[in-house]
Amino acid sequence: MKFLERRFPFIYLRKGHCLYSEMFTGVRFVIDTFTNYFKFKVTAITQATISRRYTWLYLGGAQRAACMEAPFAFCSPYFREKRDAKMLSEQTIATIKSTVPVLEVHGTTITKRFYQMMLEAHPELLNIFNHANQKQGRQQGALANAVYAAAQYIDRLEEILPVVRQISHKHRSLGIQPEHYPIVGKYLLAAIKDVLGEAATDEIIAAWTEAYGVIANVFIDVEAEMYKEAEQQQGGWSDFKSFVVQKKVKESDQITSFYLVPQDGQVLPAFEPGQYISLQAHIPGEPNTHIRQYSLSDAPGQPHYRISVKREDAMASRPAGKVSVYLHERVQEGDVLQVSAPAGDFILDRADRRPVVLISGGVGLTPMVSMLASLAASAPDRPITFVHAAANGDNHALRDEVEKRVGAHAQATAWWCYSRPTEQDRLAQAFHKEGRLDLAWLQSVIPERDAQYYFCGPEGFMQSVYGLLKEWNIPASDIHYEFFGPASAWEAEAQ
């Protein structure tokens, strides 16, 4: 850790500062880790907050901690990341940073070529990658954004750790393994060389080869811990497991719920409201398996997992969704599906006691319904505002369930916004706003601005809601969202 001593000769963690571990829980572990690494005593802890995701230790007195940048200190395995990043030579770091403007212009071209080359050489990886996202270019765009960010932050990778964790959750749910990383590295470097030609000098290729090894090790370490956690929790498993469709319920014209129970009869592991599972579909007549992520739409602690799936029919140049159509048309009660353990970092902060605002569009209400159900059961005094946007009542899923939970909660309200209400909707006065969400209306239905905001829905909807919240000057720390599929350019910028 001497490199950190050169960078931060001495740092004090004062009252209000804290020690933070994203991967390990338990006060004793964190105290021992910092004592061993930095040779200082943690003696004045005023508060400890522990969850399945993190441990905060709030310090009540001044403590000298050599080598750490206040106010946050990251525990293993991120120490390895800091060591590895600094092991890159100054010349390598400078070379990587010099490629940032090139990646900004040619990044998507490089990643398109990368996927083409890799999937031609390794067609077995088509069992993992989302074919629809490939055809629509979303996967290529997401990878281009990730490579660009890695180049920008190559000398301070700790700053993009939240994005690393988000991607790692998806990798774990898809079954990405350490042996996949050398394959990706080989064809990513080949694509850089192929697209840039002579501009990709031997020096640039050597620097990216070294840097990719560092970045791959970070992902491998983080994902190893995630696999371990998924497998070792009660009822847990690490790959895909057989689940039986116990019940299939039509929720609206487009959305159907599937109630899933373990085929082996074992207990279901807990999950955090907002998390998702991956479903591995073996569709008759298809040469490859297809994996899709679906948010869990019921409260934790049930004897089943519930997913509520929108049927994606063909529209204009967009083909029908193979997995969603398969689930709606062919999967019946009693059928067996392959399911991953719950994953994802878009989760409800249950420690924060401030009001909660849940905003959803279309099928994006699924994680919000899970959060609402959890809050209704565990936080009767916490104010909740539930806002949902749909085309009309025919497309509005789980309305009765939401209204029942809101009605049973003393401080919860629900609001419906229909963009194209039917005549029946009008006669029944089934909605509160016609058209699209706008800031003036949101301000009129949200009683307290100082709240935690969670939102989910189609990309255009999310971009709009994000813009409205920023216009209202909601702090970034209070804005949380989940997007289905790879991150787009605006989402990468927001992160």
State yes or no: is 181 an active-site residue.
Answer: yes
Angle at 113 between CA 111 and CA 114, to 5 degrees: 60
Q: Is-contact 358 385, C-beta < 8 A?
A: yes
Angle at 472 between CA 471 and CA 475, to 5 degrees: 100
Q: Is-contact 223 171, C-beta < 8 A?
A: yes
State yes or no: is 223 an active-site residue.
Answer: yes
**In 39-137, where does DSSP find H-type helix?**
78-87, 90-98, 100-121, 131-136
Residues in contact with 90: Cβ distance below 8 Å, sequence separation at least 6, in sequence order: none
| Rounded Cα distance, 324 and 338, in Å | 15
Cα Rg of the chain (Å, integer): 24
Query: Can you read off the two tokens belonging to residue 113?
Result: 């070529």
Q: Which of 115, 148, 181, 418 is the catalytic position?
A: 181
Strand partners, 260: 245, 305
Strand partners, 58: 18, 47
Q: Which of 223, 229, 272, 312 is the catalytic position?
A: 223
CB neighbours (10 Å) of residue 410? Answer: 8
Of the CA atoms within 13 Å of residue 61, those in its CB half-sphere come to 7
| Rounded Cα distance, 257 and 336, in Å | 15
CB neighbours (10 Å) of residue 255? Answer: 23
First to last CA, the chain: 29
Give SS3 for 60: coil
Number of H helices and E strands in the chain, helices first, is 17, 17
Phi and psi at 96, nearest 5°, equal -60, -45
* DSSP secondary structure letter of residue 300: T
Length of the chain in terms of residues written: 495
Residues in contact with 63: Cβ distance below 8 Å, sequence separation at least 6, in sequence order: 12, 13, 14, 40, 41, 42, 43, 44
Catalogue the active-site residues: 181, 223
